[in-house]
Structure formats: structure tokens, C-alpha cells
Amino acid sequence: MTRLFNDPTAFADEALEGFAAAHRRWVRSVTGGVVRAGGTPDGEVAVVVGGGSGHYPAFSGLVGRGLAHGAAVGNVFASPSAQQIRSVARAAHGGAGVLLMYGNYAGDVLHFGQAAERLAGEGVEVRTLAVTDDISSAGPGQSAERRGIAGDLPVFKAAAAAAEEGLPLDEVLRTAEHANARTRSFGIAFSGCTLPGAGHPLFTVPEGRMAVGLGIHGEPGIGEEPLPTADEAARLLVSTLLKELPDDVPTPEGARAAVILNGLGSVKYEELFVVYRTVAALLADAGVEIVEPEVGELVTSFDMAGVSLTLTWLDDRLERLWRAPADAPAHRKGALEAPAAASGPREEEADDTAAVPPASEESREAAATVLTALRALAGTVDEHVEELGRIDAVAGDGDHGIGMQRGSTAAHRAAAEALALGAGAGTVLTRAADAWADRAGGTSGALWGTILRAVGTALGDQDAPTASRVADGVTEASAGVRRLGGAETGDKTMVDALVPFADTLADAVAAGEPLTGAWDRAATAAGSAAAATAGLLPRKGRARPHAEKSLGTPDAGAHSLALITRAVHGVLRHDH
């Protein structure tokens, strides 16, 4: 378990602060993460990586010459927000564009995609790439759906080394895509991990057994087998990866591979070396030439007892990039020449959040009701945070309750600050939306940010909110969540509760029912739909690889939305 922490909600921020203080030679802190201490050389593509905390040395430990130019760091097991990513990317930008790289998880895809859109709108040339190396998370025909685990390192390094060669942005992207297509990983675990402040691990493995095909966020494996010896573990890892070679590597005989044996937190170096001796022998027997192997902790999951094996199948170009020198806090090799001229530290942008648009008296009065609703929302999340985490842990990573708590608390605080400055209902909601997305990160942060912003935009700051405007905002929120997340009803996500809520509200308001009664009907529909997700198999998100395990348990996102809509109804009923 994680023993040394203060406030669990501050763990990620405090860990990043301590990391930066300990590694000033390599990095400097910026809002949202870290960048190279010496900046990005002028005219060089900036490779910005990122993901949630809890995986050190990924991602901050990989910032340095020969590796990433910056890292955006989110909360524990939650993607960084779009604002954090944008901030790090702007600080790292050397004038030649930015490549954003991350593991293929729904929250990261959403937030890095939003950050890319914002950067492009500001004139920064930007590309994105999601690493998809985990073969246990989807079949060969669905490789784009796979998670990113320890294969992050060779793919990140290939891109960064290509950038240091002076290649343009699109060529750096093609290099990263090529490395990703030739990288495969597979892992096993013997126990789950425990988040700071939690009293129990996110999943458990029966005594004498191991989980096969685990993720790095506490997701349970796709199966269980008897606890192996070190040699048996090595044989399982190697044989599994050799069954799936890249299309342009017809046989392992005569092939070259970068090899990473990764400890996930509690399997220590001597144990890894015992396993690696057999990994090396088995690969040699298969005719594979091993190139500069790495054995150690490279992508962790707090105190998870587990190990993963990564093979990146090399050609001449990828081998040169893998061998290229690097100097980062957690990964060093070779000798680097004197650095090229770099851009100086960029100034932090001025904080203009204090200014609020003018609002009518009617809208400011409505904003007070909005604040009360957000207070009730946050209180409901606090009341159910453990339940939401428990539901999410059945087939996911168990952080839904924590993420919702961070987001709703931040949203309420931002709304209170905006109201105190005289903001109208629209601005109060949009400020709350930005705070939720920024503080929570992850998939739920992006989606709830979208929901609050859509309703806020519909209400505006000038007119008194009407039932019709509220319904229009919720309808747009439903459409926006589906556009952003790509889910539809039946996928076992928040959408299964949001769509019936929005449709029922719109129909009731159109029929002339007052907002309080219409909201009551809609909240009842959301609650029924959320409960019905227990009978669905997930087709989206982290729970998808563990579909059968989730059968009989409702979706955490749908359940939390239903709880929130009922809490808001209590405010509307009291207010009217």
C-alpha cells in the first residue's frame, strides 16, 4: 500500500513538486507538468508526453535531452486536463511544432485531442499519437483499440530521437507511428495496487494465482493462472509475444528487438533479473538478436506486484534511434554533444479568470441557484465516492469516485468565486466546467466539463433561464458527450443514462410541464436507465477488455449521473 502521503487529493501535485525539486538539472516546473530545464532548441520539434500520476518514471522521469521535451502530469491514474497539456506544450514549443504522445486510454484521447485543437487554434502546428502496445487489451485486428503500457518508452524515444535529428513534425510523427506498429507488450500480476488514502487494493489475486494480461491502472487481468516460477513466467511472456509479430517481421529468426522487462512496483530488480535470464535465453533460442535491453521499473502502478515484457522489433532506422544517447532523470544512455541553442523559458500566461462578462440581475439570481445545485452535486458525490470507486473497480481502474470528487469540488469552488465577482448563470457554469475538466482530468472530467459548458452556453448571462433553455442545454450536452466520447446508448457508459435524461426532459418541457416536474421525470428515467446498465456488456472504455466481469454491475458513470440529476431535482424543488 501507499504509506507516505499527506492529503490524498494533493498527492499528485506534491509528488510532482518533489520530483522537480530533486531533478533541477533536467527539468523545470510549469503549470501542468515539467519541461526540459534548458528549453527546446530553436527549430526542433517538441515531443510532449503525458498521462496520470502513479506510473513513475512515466511520464515526468522521461523528460530530458534525447527523450521528451515536456510531460503533462495528471492526477492519480487520471489523464492530465486539456489545459495542463496545452500549458506544457506551449512552454516546450521551440517553433517547429509539437507532437503530443500518450497511452491509449479514453481520458487521454479526449484531453490530448482537445489540447491539440486549442493549440492549433492558437497557431501551433500539432500532431498526436496514442501508444497501443498491450496485446492483451484487444486482438490483432483491433490494434488501434489497445492500451499503452511499457511500450511507451521505445515509442517516445524513437520520436524524440528523430526530433533531435532535426526532422520536421510530420516525419517525427511517421517515425513514432512506425515504432508503435512494431511494439508489443504483455504483462502479469500477483497483486493489485492501492491508491494513496485507500484502505484496500483496486483488485486482488487469489493466493497461489496470477492475473494474466493486466493493465497499469489497477484494471484486473483478462484471466487467471497458477502462480508460476520465474522461468515459467518468462516462458509465458516470451511465447505470448512471439505469437504475434508485425506484418513486416515474418519470423523471429534473424530479427532484432529492443527488449524491456518492466517491474510494475513491487517486483524488484533481483527478481526481474532472475526472470530476464530466461527471457534472454528464450529469445536467443528463437533467433532474436537483443539490442540494448532494459530491465527495471519503467512504467509502474504504485505498489502493484507485476511484470511486463515489451518487444520493439527493430529495423536499421529504429535501431539507430533506440541506441541514440539520452539524458533524462530515469533513462540515460550514451554521451551527448553540447546542446544546441534553446529557446529561453517562456513567460506564464496572465491569469484573466478574475474578469467576468456583464450579467443581468435575473441571470445573477439564477446563478445563485446554479451554485446551490453544484453544492448539492458535490455533496452527493462525497456521499457516494466509495460506492462509485467500488463499482468502477469491478472491471475498470476504480478511480471514478475520486475523479468525480476532485472535479465536483473544484467546480463548486470555481462557481462560488465567479458568483462573488457578479457572474451570471452562464459564466458560473462555464467556469465550473473548466475547473471540473482541469482538476479531475480523465474521461469523466472531459465529459462533465462538456455537460456543464453546454448548459452554461444555453443559459447565457443576460436573460432569466427558462425551462426551454435548460432543456436545450441538456440536449446539447447529450450530443456533445456523444461526439466527444464516441459512445452511444448500449455501450455501457454515462451515455446510457444521459440520453434518456435529456430526451425525457426535452419532451416534458415541450409538453408544457414546469422545469421542476420535467426534471423529476427525467431524473427518474436516468435512474432506471443507469440501473439497467447492469445487464449490458461494455463496448467502450477501460472496462471493455473485462466485459464479462462487469455483467451484473451498473456503469459507474451512468450511476453517478443518475445520482446527480436526482440531487439537482431536490434543489429545484426547494427553489420553487
Cell matching residue 502: 435529456
Cell 416534458 maps to which residue? 508
Active-site annotation holds for 412: no
Q: Express the helix, strand and coil content of the chain in percent, nearest 5 each.
A: 50, 15, 35
What residues form DSSP beta bridges with 290? 257
What is the enclosing helix (H) or strand (E) of 332? Answer: strand 331-333
| Rg (alpha carbons) of the chain, rounded to whole number | 24
Helical segments of 38-168, H only: 82-92, 106-121, 152-164
Question: CA separation (Å) from 440 to 82, 83, 399, 405?
Answer: 11, 12, 10, 8
In angstroms, the CA 10 to CA 75 distance is 9
Identity (one letter) of the amino acid at 408?
A: S
In angstroms, the CA 23 to CA 257 distance is 31
Dihedral sign (CA 406, 409, 415, 416): negative
How far, rounded to the nearest angstrom, does the alpha carbon of residue 515 sit from its chain's CA centroid? 36
Helical segments of 189-329, H only: 230-242, 269-285, 316-323
Q: Which of 55, 69, 217, 559 is catalytic?
A: 217
Catalytic residues, by residue number, are 217
